[in-house]
Amino acid sequence: MKKNIYVFLLITCQVTFAVAQESDTMNYELFKKRVVLFSDLGFNSAPFAIKDNYSLGVEKIKYRNNIKPTLGIGVSHKWFGIRIGLTLPLNILDENKFGNTNYFDVAVKVNIKKTFCNLSFRNYQGYAVKGAYKFNDSLSQDTPNAIMPLIHSTSLSANVWCFRDDSFKMQAFQGKTAHFTGESKTWYLKGSLNFFRVSNESGTIIPTELTDITDRKNAQKIGAIDLGIIPGYAYGNRMNNWQYGFFVGLGGVLQSKYYTKDGTTRSFLGLAPRVDFKISGGYSQSNFFILLISDFDIKSLKIQGMNYNQTYYNVRIMSGFRLHTKKSRKRDS
């Protein structure tokens, strides 16, 4: 109960700060007349961990997916933008230790005045339990992980960031059709609706060596639907063509969480904390740019003595050219 009260007090305090300041300085440049061609190279990942009082003295089980590089090519102009992404058939981590992970990621992003909207769906299949040799006699330090190829991790998220200050533009933070011309900052509110779960259709999520008669430790599915508000602060700046920025927020969600064992589902209601975190930085001139961009989507739930935490994140190096159209050349001349 004390934790729940703390979360709501934190939300109240941050909302108060969020409506307290506003700036009239427009420290960004929009390239409305230019066509932007860009490409990116990076990777996505979604590790998770389940903590409970397991047998054999184990308290925390860590699951890691194998990582594949992703290549994207896109074009943006005014309000329109499209990116085609391809997951390359190459595992970065040792396949003998982490197995193979199949990825499916799709996202839609829209900027509308003072808001930025994001709808994303992620599905990862294939995980490895790190350090499973400590409780599985068939493994060793040379082959330390238990590969579980049928574990699925799924996330569907809808998020809306509402910025207090007009001087901050999400397009400038993303760095394709705009960039900052000076210091730009704002408080914001993020509305978040999420569905997420981890499942194993062929058996229990946790290794059989750690199961006991407790239902939640024999679950084939663990997940939640949650809705909440995350107040936060966004900052961007550009000096001598070097640009950098970040988002950081902390709030809470109302959560309906569950686990399923042998077709029977038990549901629970509760509160959970949520963090909003993004970073970007690099070099941007009017004609070209190269940026490092990363964002983190942190999921969590607690059911009785079990804590489930997962972080969906991506890291990308993005570069591109802002090309003049005939109209923009005439205007510049």
Tokens matching residue 158: 């809808």
Q: What are phi and psi of 176, to 5 degrees?
A: -95, -65
Looking at residue 167, its pLDDT comes to: 82
Q: What is the pLDDT of residue 6?
A: 42
Q: Which domain holds residue 120?
A: 2-332
pLDDT digits (tens, 9 = 90+) for 234-243: 999 999 999 9
Question: Any alpha helices (H) in 183-333, and if so which ranges?
Answer: 326-332
Could you give the number of structural domains in the chain?
1
Contact by Cβ (8 Å): 47, 63: yes
* Phi, psi (degrees; rounded to nearest 5) at 5: -60, -40
Report residues of the chain scoring pLDDT below 50: 1-24, 333
pLDDT value for 114: 85
Indicate the pTM of the whole model: 0.86
3-state DSSP assignment of residue 236: strand
How many residues are listed for the chain in this entry?
333
How many C-beta atoms lie closer than 10 Å to residue 73's C-beta? 14
What single-letter DSSP state applies at residue 325?
A: P
CATH of the domain at 265: 2.40.128
Residue 263's region, left for phi above 0, alpha for psi from -120 to 50, else beta, is: left
Q: Are 169 and 190 in contact (CB under 8 A)?
A: no
State residue 327's pLDDT score.
61
Are 167 and 23 contacting, i.e. CB atoms less than 8 angstroms apart?
yes
> How many angstroms separate the CA atoms of 146 and 200, rounded?
14
Q: Which amino acid belongs to residue 21?
A: Q
* pLDDT the model gives residue 324: 87
